[in-house]
Amino acid sequence: MPAPDDHPARPGDAFRHASKATGESVRTFHPRRATLGARRGDALDRLWPALGFSVHDPDLGLAPTGPDGTLDAARLFGRTAPVVLEIGSGMGDATAEMAAADPARDYLAVEAHLPGIAHLLTLVEDRGLTNVRVAHGDALDLVRRVVAPGSLDAVHVFFPDPWPKARHHKRRIIAPAHVALLRSRLVLGGTLHLATDWAPYAEQMLEVVTADEGLANAHPGYAPRPAHRPVTKFERRALDAGRPVHDLVATRTR
């Protein structure tokens, strides 16, 4: 959908209505609206064609797939390496820092918030990272449709929307069916790493992970804070507000 002034197409308005076509009746996130700013807008225009794709809009480039219709990670990243899926990468600071410290693995960051994607692209360029790609849209829909079973080395879900009201709990991404889906995409021994600053959600996460017969919790209860997960501004605000952060790390056993 090229813009009238022939500027490169950007992900944006098309995604706001995309969930109607995904078959998922309950959305697990709330897309936020915010301005891009000049630098982020420039990064999006220049870097999106090489580093980004849309979960929903073919006019913006979809995930590269192989003959079987699943994600061709070697084509996406230009090499064969273990892949880490970052669900809800936010502004991308943690993703960029982890990818920089972990060059042997490739990081696919999926985010619904466009300024967050644009900011991550600026970080990728500033740090000269070659092992990061970005996707705009619903991560669960991407996983459901094109991520092959047993193809991910790790899945990270850091600080997902807690949907604190009881009537909205059905929207939480960490629920039995969603976790079973994510676990099925991990290699045997692959890692599901969750983090939240919302105590009631942490309790639900622990219950769901413990109940999944294909996952083994790496620790009795919550995990000590892993050194490889960077402290973001979001986490600092939570700690300053007196909300402790809970990590859960589980591995696929079958």
Give the integer Cα–Cα distance in Å for 212 and 156.
17
What is the residue-wise DSSP string for 114-167?
A: HHHHHHHHHHHHHHT-SSEEEEES-HHHHHHHHPPTT-EEEEEEES-----SGG
Residue at 104: amino acid letter = A
Select which of 13, 59, 161, 197 is catalytic.
161
Cβ contact 115:35 at 8 Å: yes
Residue at 89: amino acid letter = S
Sheet holding 52-54, edge to edge: 52-54, 132-136, 106-111, 83-87, 152-158, 186-196, 246-252, 215-217
* 161 is annotated as an active-site residue: yes
Give the integer Cα–Cα distance in Å for 240 and 62.
40
**Continuous segment of H or E residues that includes residue 222:** none
Report, as residue numbers or ranges, the catalytic residues: 161
